[in-house]
Amino acid sequence: MVLVLFALFVLFSLLTLNRESATGAAAASRLSKEMLAAMSSKTEVFVVGAVRKPSGDFAGFVAADLGKNEKVTVTQVIGTPRDLRQAWDTAEAEGNTPSLLVVSGDVLKWTILSALQEESPDLEIIYPTERMVSDFLKRGNLLAIVDRIVVIAVIAIGMTLVILTGGIDLSVGSLVALSAVMATLAIKVMGGLEAGGGAIWAGFLIATLACGAIGAIAGFLVARFEVAPFITTLAVMLIARGAAFMMTGGFSIYQVPDSITWLGRGATFGIPNTVLVLIVFYVAGHVFMRHTRWGRYIYAVGGNEEAARLSGVPVKRILIFVYLVCGLCAGFGGCIQASQLATGAPNLGVMFELSVIAAVVVGGTSLSGGSGRVMGTLIGAFIISVIQNGMNLLGFDSYLQQVVLGAVILFAVLLDKARQNGT
């Protein structure tokens, strides 16, 4: 599946390639940066453009960018070649012959340029070059991909564990809503708009733990009474969402301070917190499943529950554990969601369980349990997000997007099956 993700990256990078305008503001700022980087001492710069032409705008952009820097003395010349000649002679007379000339567009064709270069051999003439840029690969876009999927991806870790035991958890979407509502309600009660950081974290903690407890109860029902996970978690799904509506009377809770957005939109040491959350959670999940006893037990329960039991695996405890973890993940996911939106609402997280399950399955985990990897789920989540993002960039109609997403998920899973059977 890594190959599929890689292929999608390449595909969308290519499909969103754009000629970056040679006289646009972006090119101007890039050029200015390059120039400033190359300058070592005070420099006289002429920025030349034609009136009411793109080159004129460009000159304006560059002049504005360069003008902020003390190293540079900028003179804008917007007009005709004769204006340039006049400005040049004036500067020469004053002893401020420019060493750099920034031109663009049609100005490049002015014959005066070669004349000036003959008169002043040290003169450098700089102009922007056209460039192909992929909208998909821009930093802002890549971050958007992460932000869009972080809640689903975090929940998917817990879901992976549940599915590995051969179970399923349909309640996660409702738990997101319940968690967001509980967290924001707690914060509202603890100070509302004036609440401090401590209150926010307390709110998050309460919400997450509550969802974990709900998960544990579901797990207990599955383990002890052998109620099918589908039914148990379906019931929780209904109850949790109902509870969320009851708690809020159907309204959103927005009386929370702006600082709540630190988790979902902030950054630490320059790295967005959402990225950090993903890294921390997925590394922890991977290490746990691969390198600890309980991780191994989870695989065994999914592979053959009876054989595991007869080999001394504490099957009931393992089952309760995985649903507990899934609840915690859904709870924390709800907190991230509340943080991203700065709101808690009972209608959040609708249909999230489907995306979460899709991420797990696309990532290679078998729905019958016993095989799959946590890191595979991360890739599955990214595949979904990348496809949605790419379709947005390409301007797909939102209904069409849904069709395509479904088709691609199906295709990705079939491809994976074929590859497995082939080896």
Partner 1 sequence: MVRQMNESRVTPLLEMRGIHKRFPGVHALNEVNLSLYAGEVLALLGENGAGKSTLIKMLGGAHQPDEGEIWIEGEGVVIDSATAAREVGVAVIYQEFNLIPELSVSENLFLGREKTYCGLIDLSGERREALKWLDCIGLDIDPDSKCGDLTVAQQQVVEIVKALAVDARILVMDEPSAVLTAQEVERLFQVVRDLKDRGIGVIYISHRLDEIDSIADRLLVLRDGQYIGGGAVSEIGRDTLIEMMVGRSLEKEFPPRDVTVGEEVLRVEGLNRGTAVKEVSFSVKAGEIVGFSGLVGAGRTETMRLIAGADLGESGEIWVNGELVSVQSPRDAIAAGVCLLSEDRKEEGLVLSHSSVDNFGLPNLEFYSRKGWLNDRLEQNEFDVYRDELAIKVAGPDQLAGELSGGNQQKVVLAKWLARRAHVMLFDEPTRGIDVGAKYEIYQLMNRLAGEGKAIIMVSSELPEILGMSDRIIVMKGGCLVGEVENGPETTQEDILALAMEEPATV
Among 294, 392, 401, 404, binds partner 1 (CB under 8 A): 294
Q: Does 285 help bind partner 1 (rule: CB under 8 A)?
A: no
Q: State the nearest-atom distance from the C-beta of 209 to partner 1, in Å.
A: 22
What angle is formed at CA 406 by the lines to CA 369 and CA 360, rounded to 5 degrees? 25
Burial profile 293-309: b = 16 or more Cβ within 10 angstroms, e = fewer? eebebbbbbbbebeebe
Task: Find the binder of partner 1 among 36, 299, 393, 405 (CB under 8 A).
Answer: 299
Residue 90 makes contact with partner 1 by CB under 8 A: no
Q: Which CB, 68 or 290, lies closer to partner 1?
A: 290
For residue 128, which of 188, 78, 195, 58 has the smallest C-alpha distance? Answer: 58
Q: Which of 311, 354, 367, 397 binds partner 1 (CB under 8 A)?
A: 311
Residue type, 29: S
143 within 8 A of 272, measured Cβ to Cβ: yes
Tell me which residues in 56-85 interact with partner 1 (CB under 8 A): none
Q: Which two tokens stand for residue 309?
A: 């039991």
Pick from 293, 351, 420, 421 the residue near partner 1 by CB under 8 A. Answer: 293
Listed in sequence order, the residues at least 6 apart from 164 whose beta carbon sits closer than 8 Å to its beta carbon are: 289, 298, 299, 302, 322, 365, 369, 370, 371, 372
Q: Which residues within the stretch 363-392 sit at the binding site for partner 1 (CB under 8 A)?
A: 370-371
Which of 304, 342, 396, 404 binds partner 1 (CB under 8 A)? It is 304
Nearer to partner 1, 289 or 326 (CB): 289
Q: How far is the CB of 371 from partner 1 (least distance, A)?
A: 6
User: Considering the complex, what minimum distance in angstroms separates the CB of residue 367 from partner 1?
Assistant: 14
Hey, is 124 helix, strand or coil?
strand
- Name the packing angle between helices 197-225 and 229-248 (round to 10°): 150
Nearer to partner 1, 9 or 297 (CB): 297
Burial class (CB in 10 A: 0-12, 13-18, 19+), 111: exposed
Q: Given candidates 59, 78, 313, 379, which one binds partner 1 under the rule CB under 8 A?
A: 313
CA 81, CA 101: separation in Å to the nearest integer?
13
HEC string of 215-268 equals HHHHHHHHHHHCCCHHHHHHHHHHHHHHHHHHHHCCCCECCCCHHHHHHHHCEE
140 scored as a contact of partner 1 (CB under 8 A): no
How far CA 391 is from CA of 12, 13, 387, 400, in Å, comes to 9, 12, 6, 9
Closest to 263 in 3D by CA, of 253, 248, 252, 278: 278
Please identify which residue in the block is written with the tokens 């014959």. Answer: 111
Q: Which is nearer to partner 1, 50 or 164 (CB)?
A: 164
Interface with partner 1: number of residues (CB under 8 A): 22
Q: What distances in angstroms separate CA 221 from CA 142, 218, 299, 319, 325, one per listed residue? A: 41, 5, 20, 10, 15
Choices 198-206, 271-279, 298-306, 319-327 (CB under 8 A): range interacting with partner 1:
298-306
Closest by CA position to 46, among listed 25, 30, 67, 23: 67
From candidates 30, 53, 85, 296, binder to partner 1 by CB under 8 A: 296
User: Which range, of 16-24, 256-264, 276-284, 302-310, touches partner 1 by CB under 8 A?
Assistant: 302-310
Q: Does position 19 bind partner 1 by CB under 8 A? A: no
**Shortest distance in whole angstroms from residue 410 CB to partner 1:** 24
Rank residues 370 and 376 by Cβ distance to partner 1 and give the closer one: 370
Q: Which one of the spans 41-49, 170-178, 209-217, 306-314 is the region binding partner 1 (CB under 8 A)?
A: 306-314
| By CB under 8 A, residue 306 contacts partner 1 | yes
Between residues 157 and 298, which has the closer beta carbon with respect to partner 1? 298
Type and span of the H or E element at 75? strand 72-78
Identify which of residues 300 and 328 has a Cβ nearer to partner 1 in the complex: 300
Binding of partner 1 by 307 (CB under 8 A): yes
Near partner 1 by CB under 8 A: residue from 83, 120, 303, 392:
303
Applying CB under 8 A, the residues found at the interface with partner 1 are: 291-297, 299-300, 303-304, 306-314, 370-371
